[in-house]
Amino acid sequence: MMTRDQIATGIAVFALMITAAGPLQAKRKGGDHLEKGVELAQQKQYDAAIAEFTKAIEADPKDARTYSNRGTAYRATGKFTEAMADYSKAIEVSPKDYFGYMERSQTELMQNQFDAALADADKVVELKPDEANGYKYRGFAHIGLNQWDKAVADFSTAIEKKPDDPQSYDRRAWANRNLKKYDVALADYTLLITKNPNDTESLVRRGATYATMAEYEKAIADYEAALKLKPEDYDTVQRLQYARGMLAGKNAPPATPTPPPEAPSKIFTPLNIILAIVVLGIGAAVWRLVTRGKPEVTSSTRIR
């Protein structure tokens, strides 16, 4: 089962979402600083980008997107508290703009705050129903809350909106695995592998699904393919050894039953010995009663 830390890790690798300044924004106060901040953030110079976004905010404190951009730069440096404050400010400035809710939802997911992330993703879907990330982030929140059916539904919608996003296929497969809908999960993993034969993660996950179904030959094939691409992956080596062991046990001939050892004779048991002694004793007593008082037999001939 996937842990909450794994969910957060999956969210953390999403692309940095920075909104560039459009023609109208460039004419607004702070437009130059905003454009410069976007450029620096795209170059991963986040501290410098934060400084430029701060200048843009000082010039125009009513521009919600600038707060969101600075929040995203903060998040990229691991400063989640500052990022959350900026997203909340962007929502305060422009409560009908979905972008602040979307970015705050992603940041909450990265901190395993699944209930809060779900609420913000709901707001994204409400304000921007065509935005695939709203459904995607809501799907991640459902996974964190073990709401597998709802996760499948949201990732399916995200795929409809954005069919080229591999993460939605991968997470839908994971949710279906937890629902024990293995064939459906296999279809998503196979699609990902078809699109990218070097996708080691999908190979390993499809192999694990086959192993769960006791289809060890197919699991072994996927693990071996993954190890050719990433031979140092110790976890996959362990999975491969397990699948090979299970396959060997599955194919082993049935063991010849060993006949049970003969039971030892029960004639001379302690109880039987005691009974025999009692019987002999009784017999002796009866014999004495029968013979008591009878004269002894002697010879009538005297030898002189």
What the block records as the tokens of 250 is 């599955």
Q: What is the pLDDT of residues 235-269, one digit of tens each?
A: 999 999 999 999 998 887 776 666 666 555 555 56
Q: What backbone torsions phi and psi does residue 193 show, to the nearest 5 degrees?
A: -70, -35
d(CA 137, CA 155): 9
Q: Predicted confidence band at 65 (pLDDT cuts at 50, 70, 90)?
A: very high
Q: How many other CB atoms are there within 10 angstroms of residue 198's CB atom?
A: 12
Same fold flag, 4-145 and 185-249: yes
What percent of the chain has a predicted confidence (pLDDT) above 70? 73
Domain boundaries, the chain: 4-145, 185-249
- Confidence band of 134 (pLDDT split at 50, 70, 90): very high
277-291, pLDDT tens digit by residue? 655 656 555 445 444
Burial class (CB in 10 A: 0-12, 13-18, 19+), 181: middle
pLDDT > 60? residue 1: no
Tell me the CATH number of domain 185-249, given options 1.10.10.350, 3.20.20.140, 1.25.40.10, 1.10.3720.10: 1.25.40.10
Question: How does pLDDT run across 85-119, given as a tens digit for each residue?
Answer: 999 999 999 999 999 999 999 999 999 999 999 99
Q: Would you say 183 and 163 are in contact if contact means Cβ atoms under 8 Å apart?
A: no
pLDDT > 90: what percent of the chain?
Answer: 71
Most confident of 14-18, 34-38, 169-173: 169-173
pLDDT for res 53: 96
Contact residues for 80 (Cβ-Cβ < 8 A; gap 6+): 74, 107, 110, 111
The owner of tokens 């953030």 is: 41
pLDDT at 299: 36
- Name the band, by pLDDT with cuts 50, 70 and 90, for residue 27: low
Identify the architecture of domain 4-145 in CATH: Alpha Horseshoe (1.25)
φ, ψ for residue 43, nearest 5 deg:
-90, 5
Question: Would the pTM count as exceeding 0.75?
Answer: yes
First to last CA, the chain: 115
Cβ 7 vs Cβ 109: under 8 Å: yes
Q: Residue 257: in which H helix or E strand, if any?
A: none
